[in-house]
């Protein structure tokens, strides 16, 4: 299906559903057993009193608000995630600083500033509960971009190992990459500018990168080989990357961007007020016409200065409140079915984080992974199901068997790791989370094939081939392939390299 048509389809389906309900004959509509007072009048045509009509009007407004609320939630949740992740990241950094844990670069000691690279000085572990399905292959250096007051400049060194800088807009859609799968030498200076910027490019700037929104997110990833002493080498490499304002880059002013403000935590319908505020401040000019059209159906206009949903019609409030858990469940389903499902039940997404007009994929990516690589940068295969289509559940034992020919379809590196229902790593005090091409003493079979053990307890003598999972509850597996080969990028061949997750039947105990 054409991803560009999906927002329209969502709207038509929901509008059609609502219209159908309104057009049904009284005999076709089930009685509202939970509200016996209006059972006598199921449509305005059969109402016999003013009170009945009022109740039916309220019910219609509630249903309309619920339907519209689901759609605007799907549209706006990425920018809400972008802003609220500021709180979560600040909390992680401040906690580490307060506990004298040298997990982050020293520039984080006075708080997290806008336009500042904060380097994670080690690989991600389960103590960093970010809820964004972090990898355990690269060390991260995130930055919260704001070009509203002027350009900012990335300075990229020349290094001889995998790295990438992924730059997104306010809605967590990919804008540009530095490094990654492109073989070009990215050593140089790159200037990010706000929409409509008309300035002159300084001679020592190699490229101007227009941002579609005033704010965005950037993350530097550098491969950690896991060899002894490599973390120290990565730390040294991290410090060679710079991010600073243009004036500071030119040596004119010692620019100091402010510490990020704590964003208010929305409760109930205030989520929609906050969402509207963010969209107004940082408009998505490609897609926001549909967003404002939907709100207009509930009497909310783009030019309204303050929208307080705690003071609007109670029926609309009720419908919007119902929309929040419904939208969350839809996105949870979408996370389990992103892209299309292989015959072995792995999800395949041949597009990734350059979403275009596909606001459903954008919302799912923001909720499940925060930022998502483009497919040619990294193929994320993930699954919540075994090869028979049954959900993956902690406490069971599973296996994946790769033939020799199926292995190593990534030009950079690959890994398999499990996450819990909140998209966090499975707690392990020894920090063993994954099987990868860099695992110590990975044991291959005599024919060159590889068996990966997926279970909650360590398989005897097979730790190097083991992916830990929870003792109970659902979980997901991510199979990452950085800089994938053409075999993984082509729909005609990709499924040949995705063996299913096989459940191991445990012997029945007497």
- Of 316, 332, 348, which marks where a domain is finished? 332
Of 215, 249, 283, the residue that ends a domain is: 249
Query: Which H/E stretch holds residue 197?
Result: none
Residue 7 lies in a domain: yes
Task: Note the pLDDT tens digit of each residue in 135-171.
Answer: 999 999 999 999 999 999 999 999 999 999 999 999 9
Query: What is the chain's alpha carbon radius of gyration, rounded to the nearest angstrom?
Result: 25
Q: Are residues 475 and 390 in the same domain?
A: yes
C-alpha–C-alpha distance, residues 160 and 188, integer Å: 15
| Non-local CB neighbours of 37 within 8 Å, separated by 6+ positions | 55
Percent of the chain, pLDDT > 70? 89
Counting the structural domains of the chain, the total is: 3
Q: What is the pTM of this model?
A: 0.88
- Residues with Cβ within 8 Å of 349's Cβ and at least 6 positions away in sequence, in order, are 338, 339, 361, 375, 379, 380
Q: Report if residue 434 sits inside a domain.
A: yes
DSSP H or E run through 361: helix 359-368
Report helix, strand or coil for 436: strand
Domain assignment of residue 214, yes or no: yes
Task: Give the residue from 313, 278, 280, 281 showing the smallest Cα distance to 297.
Answer: 313
> Domain boundary residue among 217, 249, 281?
249
Q: Measure CA 291 to chain center.
A: 20
- Tens-digit pLDDT profile for the chain (510 aa)? 444 444 443 444 444 443 333 334 333 334 444 554 444 456 656 666 888 878 888 999 999 999 999 999 999 999 999 999 999 999 999 999 999 999 999 999 999 999 999 999 999 999 988 788 999 999 999 999 999 999 999 999 999 999 999 999 999 999 999 999 866 689 999 999 999 999 999 999 999 999 999 999 999 999 999 999 999 999 999 999 999 999 999 998 877 898 998 999 999 999 999 999 999 999 998 889 999 999 999 999 999 988 889 889 999 999 999 999 999 999 999 988 888 999 999 999 999 999 998 999 999 999 988 999 999 999 999 999 999 999 999 999 999 999 999 999 999 999 999 999 988 999 999 999 999 999 989 999 999 999 999 999 999 999 999 999 999 999 999 999 999 999 999 999 999 999 999 999 876 565
Instruction: Say whether both 485 and 358 belong to one domain.
Output: yes
Report how far residue 239's alpha carbon sits from residue 157's, in angstroms, rounded to the nearest whole number.
Answer: 10
**pLDDT per residue as tens digits for the range 246-302:** 999 999 887 789 899 899 999 999 999 999 999 999 999 888 999 999 999 999 999
Asked whether residue 306 falls in the same domain as residue 238, the answer is no
The answer to whether residue 445 sits within a structural domain is yes
Q: What is the CATH number of the domain that holds 387?
A: 2.60.120.600
Segment (H or E) for 138: strand 138-146
The reply to whether 63 and 184 lie within a common domain is no
**Could you list the residue range(s) of the whole structural domain that residue 176 is in?**
113-249
| Domain co-membership, 236 together with 369 | no
Same domain, 178 and 213: yes
- Is 221 a domain residue? yes
- Residues 120, 98: Cα–Cα separation, whole Å: 16
Could you tell me if 273 and 307 are in contact, meaning their C-beta atoms sit under 8 angstroms apart?
Answer: yes
6-23 and 288-296 are packed helices; what angle lies between their axes, rounded to 10 degrees?
20
- Classify residue 428: in a domain, yes or no: yes
Same domain, 355 and 401: yes
* Contact by Cβ (8 Å): 378, 481: yes
Half-sphere exposure of 424 (CA within 13 A, CB side): 12
The reply to whether 210 and 240 lie within a common domain is yes
Q: How far is CA 356 from the centre of its chain?
A: 15
Give domain status of residue 96, yes or no: no
User: Encoding tokens for residue 4?
Assistant: 């560009």
184 and 119 in a common domain: yes
| Residue 296: inside a domain | yes
Q: What is the CATH number of the domain that holds 227?
A: 2.60.40.1610
Residues 186 and 207 in one domain: yes
* 341 and 488 together in one domain: yes
d(CA 241, CA 261): 25
Closest CA to 108 of 95, 121, 93: 93
Residues 426 and 499 both lie in one domain: yes
pLDDT digits (tens, 9 = 90+) for 102-126: 999 999 999 999 999 999 999 999 9
């Amino acid at each position: 299906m054409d991803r560009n048509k999906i927002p329209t389809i969502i709207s038509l389906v929901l509008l059609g559903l609502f219209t159908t309900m309104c057009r049904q004959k009284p005999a076709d509509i089930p009685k509202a057993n939970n509200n016996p007072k209006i059972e006598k009048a199921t449509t305005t045509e059969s109402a016999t009193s003013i009170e009945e009509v009022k109740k039916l009007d309220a019910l219609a407004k509630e249903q309309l608000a619920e339907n519209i609320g689901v759609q605007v939630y799907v549209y706006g949740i990425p920018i809400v995630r972008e802003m609220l992740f500021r709180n979560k990241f600040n909390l992680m950094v401040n906690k580490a600083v307060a506990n004298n844990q040298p997990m982050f670069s020293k520039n984080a000691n006075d708080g997290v500033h806008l336009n500042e690279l904060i380097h994670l000085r080690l690989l991600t572990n389960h103590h960093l509960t970010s809820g964004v399905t972090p990898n355990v292959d690269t060390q991260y250096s995130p930055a919260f971009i704001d070009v509203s007051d002027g350009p900012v400049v990335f300075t990229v060194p020349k290094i001889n190992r995998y790295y990438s800088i992924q730059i997104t807009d306010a809605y967590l859609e990919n804008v540009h990459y530095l490094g990654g799968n492109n073989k070009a030498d990215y050593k140089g200076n790159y200037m990010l500018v706000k929409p409509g910027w008309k300035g002159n490019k300084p001679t020592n700037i190699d490229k101007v990168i227009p941002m579609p929104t005033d704010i965005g997110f950037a993350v530097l990833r550098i491969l950690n080989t896991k060899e002894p002493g490599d973390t120290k080498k990565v730390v040294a490499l991290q410090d060679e990357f710079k991010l600073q304002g243009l004036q500071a880059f030119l040596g004119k002013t010692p620019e100091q961007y402010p510490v990020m403000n704590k964003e208010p935590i929305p409760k109930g319908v205030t989520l929609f007020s906050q969402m509207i505020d963010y969209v107004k401040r940082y408009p998505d000019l490609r897609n926001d016409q549909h967003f404002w059209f939907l709100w207009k159906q509930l009497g909310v206009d783009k030019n309204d200065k303050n929208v307080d949903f705690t003071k609007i019609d109670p029926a609309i409030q009720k419908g919007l409140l119902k929309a929040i858990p419904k939208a969350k469940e839809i996105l949870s389903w979408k996370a389990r079915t992103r892209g299309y499902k292989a015959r072995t039940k792995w999800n395949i997404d041949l597009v990734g984080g350059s979403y275009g007009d596909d606001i459903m994929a954008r919302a799912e990516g923001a909720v499940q992974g925060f930022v998502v690589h483009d497919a040619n940068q990294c193929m994320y295969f993930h699954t919540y199901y075994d090869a028979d289509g049954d959900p993956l559940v902690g406490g069971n034992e599973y296996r994946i068997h790769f033939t020799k020919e199926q292995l190593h379809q990534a030009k950079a590196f690959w890994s398999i790791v499990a996450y819990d229902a909140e998209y966090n790593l499975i707690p392990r005090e020894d920090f063993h989370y994954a099987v990868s091409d860099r695992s110590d003493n990975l044991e291959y079979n005599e024919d060159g094939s590889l068996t990966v053990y997926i279970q909650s307890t360590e398989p005897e003598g097979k730790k190097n081939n083991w992916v830990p999972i929870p003792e109970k509850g659902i979980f997901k597996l991510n199979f990452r392939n950085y800089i994938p080969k053409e075999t993984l990028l082509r729909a005609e061949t990709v499924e040949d390299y995705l063996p299913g997750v096989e459940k191991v039947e445990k012997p029945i105990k007497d």
